[in-house]
Amino acid sequence: MGILVGILIFSFQIKNEAVAPAEVTKVEETNVASATGEVATEPATYEVVKVVDGDTIHVVADEKKQTVRMIGVDTPESVDPRRPVQCFGDKASEKTRELLLNKKVRLESDPTQGDTDNYKRLLRYVFLEDGTNVNILLIEQGFGHQYTYNKPYKYREEFIKAEVEARESKRGLWADEACLN
């Protein structure tokens, strides 16, 4: 019995010694790769070549024009051929143009929203080079409202709060006189 216990202890020690060096090597390889920048890369940026309306833009990605619909924000319509221009639609489009046209942006997807919508537009959060989230900025300044299409999204609570603050402060389309025409 003592021999059996000894064999078990010996084989356990050998097994642990065989595993330990591989784990240490793996950690060192990860650290070296991260330190040299081989693993960590800069996020891609894309040039905005057209602003369709307040919540839709065109960017150039891989030498191809892509349409991007901003997640979580809905601005009044200004280009829908089936409807007249909505109140504040032109102003929302102009603000988005001012913020984004011919600028470099970073795009962030959200797994809760899928990659594209029914119109094959990429669904993304849009960030300026300084890190500003344009989607929430449009809501904060009253150029659009928080919009949940199908499922809650990553920044939803922040967007809802931004809309409440814009409404209470009567900014943009929430101003008393904004849509009297």
Instruction: Tell me the pLDDT tens digit for each residue of 66-81.
Output: 999 999 999 999 998 8
Catalytic annotation on 124?
Answer: no
Query: Residue 121 catalytic?
Result: yes
Residue 26 burial (CB < 10 Å; 0-12/13-18/19+)? exposed
Cα–Cα distance, 69 to 51 (Å, whole number) = 11
Of 42, 121, 124, 157, catalytic:
121
pLDDT band at 5 (very low <50, low <70, confident <90, very high): very low
- Cβ atoms of residues 92 and 138 within 8 Å: yes
The single residue of 23, 28, 29, 77 carrying the catalytic annotation is: 77
3-state class (DSSP) for residue 86: coil
Which of 28, 38, 69, 124 is the catalytic position?
69
Q: Could you tell me the CA-to-CA distances from 73 to 17, 40, 85, 137 in Å, in that order?
A: 56, 31, 18, 10
